[in-house]
Amino acid sequence: MKRRPWALGAVVAVVFLFLYAPIAWLAIASFNSSRSLSRISGFSLQWYEELADDSRVFGSLRLSLQLALSSAVIATVIGTLAAFGLRRAFPGRGLWTVLLSLPLVVPEVVMGVAMLGFFVKLAGVPLGFGALLFAHVAFSLSFVVVVVRSRVSGMDARMEEAAADLGASPFVVFRTVTLPLVAPAVVAGAAFAFLLSFDDVVISSYLTGVGSTTLPVFVYAQASKRGISPEIVALSTLMVTATALLLIIGVVVASWRARRAGSTAKLAG
């Protein structure tokens, strides 16, 4: 067979173009001096300046960050405990495992309806931060459990036995051996939960209250009400940049940790 390295390269280029052209366009348009999105007329920071003056943007950003942080912490704690709980054999473990990953496949629109019905209408949690927090913990929990569980179940139980054998009480075993070994997965689960919460539109849109709108919901509402304004484009560019930075930091930290451990396989596996 004839090898055509350029063909492969072309495919990759097309894929990247397809993925990143819209984002690149977004960034370029945000610095455009005209209001038009289809004609680039010059460089300007005016949309960013207008954004900086908009107090609603900061309100939403603060709410989104608070929400993402607190729901990630709560989901990570509960999810990690659940992942350890699923390690032991108990009646119905298989069913529990399936049930825990169900939210991963239920359509978000349905999840949103369910959350609104249960937390707000039935349990009486007020719309806004409270309802959002419950809902975000509920839907990001599954992701944390799945990520942490894969690490926990892949862990060699002999390692913990060795620690106990050397005189470590169950708590010390957990602190010195179990936790450090599952830590990468816990961190990954937490980051995942944070991003899920920070990105969510569909479920959150059911639960936002007056004056308490998350950033993605705010963007979506603005865009659907008034069309895509340059301020929204600038805001979107900022959000993409922040997310990309987080991702890059994550990758750098992970590879640094792996190098320090002396083996990528040991930590990733």
Partner 1 sequence: MTGFSPAEASTPDTFAPVEIGLHGVRKRFSDQVAVDGISLNVHEGEFFSVLGPSGCGKTTVLRMIAGFVDPDEGRIELDGNDMVGVPPYRRDVNTVFQSYALFPHMSVWDNVAYGLKRKKVRGAELEKRVGEHLELVRLAQFAKRRPAQLSGGQQQRVAIARALAAGPRLLLLDEPLGALDAKLRKELQIELMRIQREVGTTFLYVTHDQEEALVLSHRIAVMNAGKIEQVGYPEDVYERPATRFVAGFIGTSNILDAEVSGVDGGFVALTAPGAVNLRAKFAGGVSRGRKVAATVRPEKVHLFDEAAEPPTGWCVLRGVVQDVVYTGVSTQFVVGTPGGELVAFVQNAQRIDDAGAPGQPVRMAWDPEFTVLLESSDG
Residue numbers 133-172 binding partner 1 by CB under 8 A = 156, 158-159, 161-169, 172
Q: What is the DSSP string of 176-234?
A: IIIHHHHHHHHHHHHHHHHHHHHH--HHHHHH-BTTB--HHHHHHHHHHHH---HHHHH
Residue from 145, 177, 215, 235 binding partner 1 (CB under 8 A): 177
**Dist CA 241 CA 24 (whole Å):** 11
- Check residue 253 for interaction with partner 1 (CB under 8 A): no
Q: How far is the CB of 84 from partner 1 (least distance, A)?
A: 18
255 backbone φψ class: left, alpha, beta (φ>0; ψ -120 to 50)? alpha
Q: How far is the CB of 155 from partner 1 (least distance, A)?
A: 10
Q: Which is nearer to partner 1, 152 or 235 (CB)?
A: 152
Interface with partner 1 includes 262 (CB under 8 A)?
yes
| Buried-state track 32-43, b at ≥16 Cβ within 10 A, e below 16 | beeeeeeeeeee
Q: Which stretch binds partner 1 (CB under 8 A): 2-10, 90-98, 196-204, 261-269?
A: 261-269
Asked if 37 and 228 count as a contact pair (C-beta separation under 8 A), the reply is yes
Reported residue count of the chain is 269
CB of 180 to partner 1, least distance (A): 5
Among 35, 62, 93, 266, binds partner 1 (CB under 8 A): 266
Least distance in Å: CB of 59 to partner 1?
42
Beta bridge partners of 5: none
Choice between 186 and 207, CB closer to partner 1: 186
Burial group, residue 218, by CB count within 10 angstroms (0-12, 13-18, 19+): buried
| Contact indicator for 188, 194 with CB cutoff of 8 Å | no
> Does position 248 bind partner 1 by CB under 8 A?
no
- Shortest gap between Cβ of 189 and partner 1 (angstroms)? 18
The answer to the question of residue 268 lying near partner 1 (CB under 8 A) is no
Residues that bind partner 1 (CB under 8 A): 156, 158-159, 161-169, 172, 176-177, 180-181, 261-263, 265-267
